[in-house]
């Protein structure tokens, strides 16, 4: 038996796509923990789906200087360009700005007993890290991300 899904019940989000330079309407990805667990490595699941944090200076991208676009490890959404990456000295990959505000959402996180701004992928709600107001000019933002929540797409990819 086939069940039809009403077109108006599908959630859509606007996402900026670096390759085309356009904003596209895409389906929001909603999965259960069991579905994500089957699709992701245990570390990516722990960090991106369960709001974990990798230890500083251990992630694959904390000192990566290769060019490319950092994408969501869960859904592939374009998130950050290597052009905005900087060494914050924290041990986590840090960026001045996302490729587009449309690709991120934020939430206030009180996990440490005080408010921090959590950064999420707008398409799949993956936990990426946090944003702080102590970054370099011109944005003065520091998007402090977990390497486990990112995948670097190099220019030829």
Active-site annotation, residues = 144
Given its phi and psi angles, is residue 141 left (phi above 0), alpha (psi -120 to 50 degrees) or beta? Answer: beta
- Largest Cα span, the chain: 57
What residue ranges in 38-109 does DSSP mark as E strands?
69-72, 78-81, 85-86, 94-95, 104-109
């Amino acid at each position: 038996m086939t069940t039809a899904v009403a077109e108006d019940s599908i959630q859509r989000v606007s996402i900026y796509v670096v390759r085309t330079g356009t904003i596209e309407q895409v389906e929001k990805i909603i999965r259960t923990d069991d579905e994500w667990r089957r699709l992701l490595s245990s570390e990516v699941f722990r960090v991106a789906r369960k709001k974990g944090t990798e230890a500083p200076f251990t992630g694959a991208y904390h000192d990566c200087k290769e060019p490319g676009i950092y994408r969501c490890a869960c859904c592939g959404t374009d998130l950050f360009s290597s052009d905005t990456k900087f060494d914050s000295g924290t041990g986590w990959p840090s960026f001045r700005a996302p490729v587009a505000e449309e690709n991120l959402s934020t939430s206030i996180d009180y996990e440490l007993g005080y408010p921090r701004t959590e950064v999420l992928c707008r398409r799949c709600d993956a936990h990426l890290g946090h944003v702080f107001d102590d970054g370099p000019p011109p944005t003065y933002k520091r998007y402090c991300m977990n390497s486990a929540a990112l995948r670097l797409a190099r220019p030829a990819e």
